[in-house]
Chain A
Amino acid sequence: MAASIADLVDRALAGFEALAATAEPIADEWQYLTDLDTVWKARLRAVAEARGAELAPPGAEDALEVLVAEAGRITDPHRAIDWMSTLPQVALAALGEAA
Chain B
Amino acid sequence: MRFMDARPDGRAVVYAHIQSDPLVARAAALLAAATTTQRLLARAVMNGESSDPASWRTMFPTLFGPAAPGTGDPARARSEAILEASLAVADRGEQTRSQFRGAIVEALTERLLAERTAPVRRERRIGFDGRPDEIHPYDVTVEREVAGEAWDCKWGARGIKADVLHQLDDARRGAAEEEVRLLVGLVIFDARRSCEVRLVRERGPVALEGLKLIALEGLDRLAGRKPA
| Nearest CB in chain A to that of B156: its residue | A82
Choose one: A31, A86, A88; the contact of B47 (CB below 8 Å).
A86
Chain A contacts for B217, CB-based, 8 A: 98-99
| Closest beta carbon of chain B to A74's beta carbon, Å | 6
Q: Are B62 and A96 closer than 8 Å at their CB atoms?
A: yes
| Nearest CB in chain A to that of B227: its residue | A98
Q: Are A94 and B50 closer than 8 Å at their CB atoms?
A: no
Chain B contacts for A29, CB-based, 8 A: 158
Q: Are B58 and A59 closer than 8 Å at their CB atoms?
A: yes
Q: Are A31 and B201 closer than 8 Å at their CB atoms?
A: yes
10 nearest A-B residue pairs (beta carbon): A59-B61, A59-B65, A35-B197, A85-B194, A73-B49, A66-B55, A99-B191, A66-B58, A66-B59, A63-B59
Interface residues of B in 47-103 (CB under 8 A from A): 47-50, 55, 58-62, 65-67, 94
Q: Are A70 and B50 closer than 8 Å at their CB atoms?
A: yes
Q: Are B158 and A32 closer than 8 Å at their CB atoms?
A: yes
Interface residues on A, range: 35 or more
Choose one: B37, B60, B94, B197; the contact of A36 (CB below 8 Å).
B197
One digit per residue, 1 when the CB lies within 8 angstroms of any chain B CB and 0 when it does not, for chain A 63-92 equals 101110110011010010111011011100
- Give the number of residue pairs across the A-B interface with Cβ within 8 Å: 97
Most central of A67, A69, A93, A98 by chain B CB within 10 Å? A93
Q: How many residues of B contact A (CB 8 A)?
A: 32
Answer whether residue B114 sits at the interface, using C-beta atoms and an 8 A cutoff: no
Give the interface of A toward B (CB within 8 A).
29, 31-32, 35-36, 38-40, 43, 57-60, 62-63, 65-67, 69-70, 73-74, 76, 79, 81-83, 85-86, 88-90, 93-94, 96, 98-99
Chain B contacts for A93, CB-based, 8 A: 37, 40, 60, 62
One digit per residue, 1 when the CB lies within 8 angstroms of any chain A CB and 0 when it does not, for chain B 184-204 equals 000000111110011001000
Q: Are A57 and B61 closer than 8 Å at their CB atoms?
A: yes
Chain A contacts for B180, CB-based, 8 A: none
Answer whether residue B27 sits at the interface, using C-beta atoms and an 8 A cutoff: no
